Structure 1
């Protein structure tokens, strides 16, 4: 049966796209249709794969936040795999990244079958991420706030998050333990890296730390930790623990039963902090890369 690959255009297309993602990666938050619309960029391509009019998979290609690369993500519903759908999607996604002019491809895999598929097409492991999960069983009390620190939410101070990009943001992004430096634009920082709620630690009016939560409307009892970071001169004073516990306390107060976070395997300090707070390791994700042009 021929595979039909079409771009997402309508809201119905986007709804079908997100339903594939929910089915394949139910353990991660999926953007709403409105969020998918709002996060659209000229370099992003969303695809649907159909067989006999039925949606059997989807794909996404866009500029990666890893320098010099484009991201490709083909996904196929389990019952429709091993019939060429993933290959057809990947081909279209790679073509799109080639048109964007990026010399490298980035992708990821959370299970052995997906990893084997990627390796068939020349992708090699370049990094790993560890998922850690905190299960809430009651109220969470934060540690005392460090002297000289004021904590507000980003919603309480409109524009503060955007203004923090040049100093705090660039330092936080440069500190990621990744194989390739991140290249995050101010627009992406404002649009994609701001959680809600996002707790901001201020010293003399400047952002020196943050921690937040990404809520999941499809699974209201689960949330993902947003970026947790502390400026270098404020590390070692208990600020990261204070902010993280504020976020977990907010989660407990709002009926969330489980908070998960993805941390780079090389970020031993953050993984150790999470373990100390009571997070358990629940999953490992493999980051993959290969040149765009593949013989």
Structure 2
């Protein structure tokens, strides 16, 4: 077995194909998106046996404070041969080299959870996937008085400009065990939907909702961040923004929209259920202290 970093476009495409094969129910970043995320903090690996790609890995500084994220994945037909273990150790070593005391990962099935537990990982967060099937464009609830909606594409200065005010409040509201620690660079690169609808009041962003489009499966999309500033909650703004994204999806040939919501975010889960989303699967985040034994 050979484990090497991704360096060429062919390596990155092979990395993408492993992810698509292992978790076909989620969108995978395009080659351009992966390249845009290149940094010394991030490590992408490919595992090969006899020249054949059998798995991949990712390690980087996590958005949870003082933590690194690791993702070892092995194609089903090549599991139980030590590939995942070898990948996990390489990835954990990289996180340790960044000076971070904790390492995190995500699992979505029983074998993956058992694998993580073997190495001392324990559950710290849980989230559910909810899915909306689009038969037609839904009706869109009216906007509250005094609010207008624009897209980040039309007003590109608004998204980075709202980070210190609206963005930090939105990120601080996540129901997770460790507060999120997101930089302006990652906010601008990783949290912006396409499209991203921004609700404005007196020129300030007070709400957002958008989609992450899937170039590998154009009939599916993921809800990007849906958030409303605290003083604007309870006025129907979140419903309007969410329905607006669903209407846009229907008009652009998307048949299914899915979203992940933390177990502790009862308000958003309830809103999704009211709008017609059905719960489809559960994801578990696990963590442990470094070094990895």
Please, which of 116, 120, 123 is the counterpart of residue 122 of structure 1?
A: 120
Residue 198 of structure 1 is matched in structure 2 by: 196
Question: Which residue of structure 1 aligns with residue 228 of structure 2?
Answer: 230
Query: How far, CA to CA, are the matches of 1:168 and 1:42 in structure 2?
Result: 29
State the Cα deviation string for residues 166-206 of structure 1 (Å, max 9, x = none): 00000000000000000000110001000010000000000
Q: CA deviation at 1:292?
A: 1.2
CA drift of 1:255 comes to: 0.6
Instruction: Please name the residue that 1:33 is paired with.
Output: 31
* CA positional deviation for 1:294: 3.6
Q: Does 1:246 align with 2:244?
A: yes
Aligned to 1:13: 11
CA distance in 2, matches of 1:260, 1:5: 33
Q: Which of 274, 279, 282 matches 2:280?
A: 282
- Quote how far apart the aligned CAs of 1:215 are: 0.4
Q: Secondary structure at the match of 1:31?
A: coil
Structure 2 residue aligned with 1:144: 142
> Within 1, Cα distance between the matches of 2:137 and 2:191?
27
**Cα displacement (A) at 1:39:** 1.4
The whole-number CA distance in structure 2 between the counterparts of 1:33 and 1:236 is 40
Shift in Å, 1:142: 0.5
Displacement of 1:139: 1.7
| Pair 1:74-2:108 in alignment | no
- Structure 2 residue matching 1:57: 3-state secondary structure: strand
The separation in 1 between residues aligned to 2:145 and 2:184, in whole angstroms, is 30
Distance 1:233 1:266 in 2: 21
Alignment root-mean-square deviation, CA = 0.6
TM-score normalised by structure 1 residue count: 0.99
Provide the TM-score with structure 2 as the length reference: 0.99
Gapped runs of 5+ residues in structure 2? none
4+ residue runs over 2 A deviation = none
Cα distance in 2 for residues equivalent to 1:225 and 1:148: 25
Asked if 1 retains the 8 angstrom alpha-carbon contact of 2:70 and 2:103, the reply is: yes
Find the residue that maps to 2:206 and give its secondary structure: strand
Deviations 1:116-153 (A, max 9, x none): 10000110000101000000001211101110101000
1:194-246 deviations in Å (ceiling 9; x for gaps): 00100000000000000000000100000000000000000000000000000
